[in-house]
Amino acid sequence: MENQFGKRSYGSSYGWSSTGSNTSDSRKQNEDFTNFAFSSASIRNGFIQKVFTTVTVQLAVTVALIALFQFHEGSVMYAYNNPWMMNLAMMTTLALTLLMGFSTSLRRQAPLNLIILAAYTVSQAFLVGLLSSFYEVEEVFLAATMCASIVFGLSIYAKSTKEDFTVKGGMLVSALMALTIGSLISIFYRGEFFNLILSVGGAAVFSMYIVYDLQMIMGDRTLSISGEEYIFAALNLYVDIIRIFMELLKILRYLNEANGQNQRKKKRN
């Protein structure tokens, strides 16, 4: 069955149509299609630019707070002596995550959406910075470097691969549920090796989510995120990156402790 333009939309180029009127209609239709495609590409490019600009600002705030808690002992001690700050940050992060996750109108209502995202970013960055203070500077730097390398590599893969991850949302949700169940089990079973497996699994799951979210943002696959949802897209990408960073920190700590134990055993022997 022919589409509504039939051969007229393409026929003039190949001599199928002989009337001037048909030729004129064909050119006009082709111009309309070209302008529409250009407009759609411009909108998507603008959307991608806003998402990556927002995520860059979020990561800059996070890095600043990590550096503050790593190199300014007074800030760390003040946060330790005032646990209400951590409790407030945790509750704020959870509440704003749920708010932005379930309220589409709120995510699209400027400038309120930017204010909420800024509050979320500061709260999340505070938690990440405070948790990072429990790790050595070398571990934090190495985890950040590895995380940046992973995200860069996954970005190239998401753009170049023919694999469509946007249709694999169900699989990713299942993996995330399994990871959540494992995390609940770890509350009662505090085995170090079990926690290592969870950290490796968490890094793997959120690495796949990086590819999934990037392809949704790029909009060249089966499914894509709306051009009006750049706040939600930035939130998802930021959370993916932070989770990979935190899981890498745990993995490095385990490896360093295991290496230290092996060295102590060698000295005893």
Helix ranges (H only) for the chain are: 8-14, 20-71, 73-81, 83-102, 104-108, 112-132, 137-160, 169-188, 192-218, 230-268
Q: Which of 13, 8, 37 is nearest to 25 (CA)?
A: 8
**Residue 225, by phi and psi: left (phi above 0), alpha (psi -120 to 50) or beta?**
beta
Lowest model confidence (mean pLDDT) among 27-31, 124-128, 157-161 = 27-31
149 pLDDT tier (thresholds 50, 70, 90): very high
Separation CA 62–CA 152 (nearest Å): 18
Residue 208 pLDDT more than 60? yes
| pLDDT band at 21; cut points 50, 70, 90 | very low
Q: Per-residue confidence at 260, pLDDT binned at 50, 70, 90?
A: low
pLDDT at 25 over 90: no
pLDDT higher than threshold 60 for residue 10: no
Neighbours of 258 (CB within 10 A): 13
| Mean pLDDT value of segment 103-132 | 91
pTM listed for this prediction: 0.81
Could you tell me which residue, 25 or 106, shows the higher pLDDT? 106
pLDDT value of position 5: 36
- Residue 9 pLDDT greater than 50, yes or no: no
CA–CA distance, 236 with 243 (Å, rounded to integer): 11
DSSP state letter for 223: -
Phi, psi of 239 (to 5 degrees): -60, -40
pLDDT of residue 39: 55
pLDDT at 132 over 50: yes
Of the two residues 114 and 43, the one the predictor is more confident about is 114
d(CA 201, CA 80): 30
